[in-house]
Structure formats: C-alpha cells, structure tokens
Amino acid sequence: MNQSEKLFERAQIHIPGGVNSPVRAFKAVGGTPPFIEKADGPYIVDADGKQYIDYVQSWGPMVLGHNNPAIREAVIAAAQNGLSFGAPTEGEVTMAELVSQMVPSMAMLRMVNSGTEATMSAIRLARGFTGKDKILKFEGCYHGHADALLVKAGSGALTLGVPSSPGIPADYAKHTLTVEFNNLDSVREAFAAHGDDIACIIVEPVAGNMNCIPPVAGFLEGLRSICDEHGAVLIFDEVMTGFRVARGGAQERYGITPDLTCLGKVIGGGMPVGAFGGKREIMQHLAPSGPVYQAGTLSGNPIAMAAGMAALQQLQQPGLYDTLTDNTRLLAEGFRHCAKKHRIPLTVNYAGSMFGVFFTDIDKVTNYQQAINCNVEQFSRFYHGMLDAGVYLAPASYEAGFVSLAHDRTIIEQTLDAADRVMAGL
C-alpha cells in the first residue's frame, strides 16, 4: 500500500467516504485519490512524493497557480495581527471597493464564507426583494448544496422540482423550476406558466459543473430580457467564472449585466470565501439596512480578505487574461489533434481558462443530456492514464478543468505529450 492508500483507509473510519467533499473520493473514475501534501505553480505533490501537473487548481481559485508568493506573504502578514475579530475591518472595505471596481454591476456586495452561502443568500434576497417564491435554474448547473438549489427537474420544462437528495422536503423543492441550459424556449415556457411567481433566474453563465458548456449566442441576452419582462431578478453564479473567464467574469466577457452576482473561491485566493452583490436597490434590502436577514460570524475574515486582495491585485496585470486564453486554446486544440490522430471521438469546449473534454461524437455539446451521454468508461481510462503519466485532471467526466497562469507553453506541451501516449492506448 502506498501512503495515499493508507491515508484513504484511515480517512474512511471517521470521515464519511473518507473525504470532506464528495467528488474528491474518485467515485466517478474509481481508484484511490492521491492525498496532497503540497503544491506550487502548476504542480501538486502527493503523500508519496509524486508530482502532477494540476488542472483542478483547487476547483478554480488558483488562477495565478498554486502557492503564489504574494498571496502567501499577505496571509502570513495578516495572521501576525490576529485571525478574526467579528468586528469591521479596513480590509473588508478595500476588498468591496476592489471587487466593485472589477465587476461594476456589483455596486454593493457582502462577503460570505463559501459559494453555497453566496447563492443561498442571493436567492433569499431575490425572493425578499420581489415577494415571489419560485426560482428557475438549469439542468446540470450546480450552485452549491443549499436546499432550494439541490433540485433537478424530471423530464419536461414545466415539471415542478423534486429534490435530488434525501433530506430536502418536497414542499420546499417544489418552488424550484428546472429547465434546459442553452434553451430559451424552455425558459419562456416556464415563465408562461409561472411568470408571476418567479423571483429569479440563477445561471452559471458558463456552465462548469456538467463539464464545460459555454452559453450559445443569444442565451444570456435572452435571459436578461425575460427577467426584465417579468420583473424577475437575474442572478449570475460566477463562483467559477468570476475573475477566471475574464477580469470582470462572464458578464464582462459576454457583455450581459445581471442584477446579482455570486462569487466564491477565486476572491479568496484559496481561502474559504464567497460574496454576493449587485444593484444597490436590491442589496439595500439586506439586513441591517433592510429586512432580508443574512449574517456570518467569520464573514469578511481578515486573513481571507488579505489573500483575496493579493490575488485580485495581481489579476490586474495587462494581458494576463489573453495569456490564459491562449494557453487554454493551445491545450484544447492539442487534445483535439491527439484525438483525431488516434481516431477517438472527442469534443473539447473551452471559455477563457475553463475547459472540458467530452468523449463523444457529438460536434457541439451544449446541454446536460449531451454531457451525460458521453463515454464515461473511456473517460475513466483516459483519466487514469493521464494520472499515471503525472497529469491530474478533475476526477469526473462532468467537471470543468482549469488552466492557470503557471501553465506555460512547456507545461501544456508536456500535458499533450502525455495525452498522445495515453490516447494511443485507449
């Protein structure tokens, strides 16, 4: 047994499934997850000392690569002054100013501790603001594990939500409508039937939780006008896309302004952080200025603010997002080329520095049904081949991958050499 196997065995005694978040357990691809000891730049190193090129990047936040020196130093410096005060600090004010400047639609914002808290709070605010109960989400989009959002529709656009996990009362889930991503007709149908009761649409503007699926032309524009028509709040869940697909997130990249935005991960530079914010008239409904309650003992934590600011300040570098996109394009084109050479049906999607490979002969993967109909068995073999070759991809065929600034051309070429060898054996 190697160290990771020993640790995984030990972990399963006191931690359900041996992990603190399900996808880490490698259920989808089989085998034992490497336990990680340290990380630097594009690399992670496991408990057995094996180094991998990492395309998970802590599920997105490490846009600058792992163990970024300025973030590390900011955390150490902030820790010298104490870890938490439960009282306002200058760091929170500066952070709010910085986020608001980078994402101008967030005129006001509130810090929370995770993406789940951000979306849960944004939904409550949208409901409180509009006085309506129903929410509309998209099949295959993940917005954290709050009750209202852990809901999938049955078939058909107008099916009322059923919980996708035990522990969520059906009475509660019924307020969540789920329709097809990239399909405006299904949204219009839902609004035709329930329009007067829908408080908000929540969407991942580039879906990253059913692999990587960018919006088709007109989709986000359509959501904007449907919300305007019906007085519903448009929420962009940019937990993954914020500061990743462009400096100002997907809303900058696609030129659509939501009413509320949810952020996470990236704004903490790796610390547990989230935020939600948007139009002043909506945000002022939040306690203590308004009646919608939301709170957090550790929210705006000084260490997290220091890490986040150090991350966001570096993301201002001119040309940074062009470099990220160029390197992601190189990777995507490289995967396509390898697959073609070895006659493997493969579709690669990417947006900014998010990407996803689909083992399928469908040319364009634009929705959940197409994403889940890919060849999962072939993906698992590819996955383990890449892992053996020292490349750590997201351990499930329905997760997006991430390229960081530390993934330079040499790293991308090494990845593609590995992909070439692995695909030759598939």
Which residues have a catalytic role annotated? 142, 237, 265
Residue 261 binding ligand PMP, by CB under 6 A: no
Is the separation of the CB atoms in 394 and 36 below 8 Å? Answer: no
Q: What tokens does 141 get?
A: 């989009």
CB of 381 to ligand PMP, least distance (A): 25
| 58 versus 347: smaller Cβ distance to ligand PMP | 58
Site string for ligand PMP, 139-178 (x = CB under 6 A): ---xxx----------------------------------
CB of 303 to ligand PMP, least distance (A): 17
Please report, to the nearest 10 degrees, the dihedral formed by the alpha carbons of residues 56, 58, 64, 65 taken in order. Answer: -70
Number of residues lying near ligand PMP (CB under 6 A): 16
Residue 237 binding ligand PMP, by CB under 6 A: yes
Which of helix, strand or coil describes residue 44?
strand
Tell me how far apart the alpha carbons of residues 215 and 217 are, in angstroms, rounded to a whole number.
Answer: 6
Nearest residue to ligand PMP on Cβ basis: 115
Tell me how far apart the alpha carbons of residues 286 and 360 are, in angstroms, rounded to a whole number.
Answer: 46
| 26 versus 142: smaller Cβ distance to ligand PMP | 142
Q: What tokens does 129 get?
A: 């603001």
| 122 versus 306: smaller Cβ distance to ligand PMP | 122
Residue 4 binding ligand PMP, by CB under 6 A: no
- Among 57, 105, 119, 366, which residue interacts with ligand PMP (rule: CB under 6 A)? 119
Residue 59 binding ligand PMP, by CB under 6 A: yes
Tell me how far apart the alpha carbons of residues 283 and 279 are, in angstroms, rounded to a whole number.
Answer: 6
Q: Mention every residue, 6+ apart, whose C-beta is less than 8 A from residue 276.
A: 109, 110, 112, 118, 119, 121, 122, 125, 260, 261, 262, 263
Q: Which stretch binds ligand PMP (CB under 6 A): 180-188, 232-240, 275-283, 338-346?
A: 232-240
Q: List the one residue out of 406, 321, 388 whose CA is nearest residue 71.
A: 406
- Among 54, 180, 204, 252, which residue interacts with ligand PMP (rule: CB under 6 A)? 204
Residue 116 binding ligand PMP, by CB under 6 A: yes
Q: List the one residue out of 57, 63, 22, 15 whose CA is nearest residue 36.
A: 57
Q: What tokens does 411 get?
A: 């790293």
Is the separation of the CB atoms in 388 and 421 below 8 Å? Answer: no
- Among 223, 239, 371, 412, which residue interacts with ligand PMP (rule: CB under 6 A)? 239
Residue 240 binding ligand PMP, by CB under 6 A: yes
Binding site for ligand PMP (CB under 6 A): 59, 114-116, 119, 142-144, 204, 208-209, 237, 239-240, 264, 274
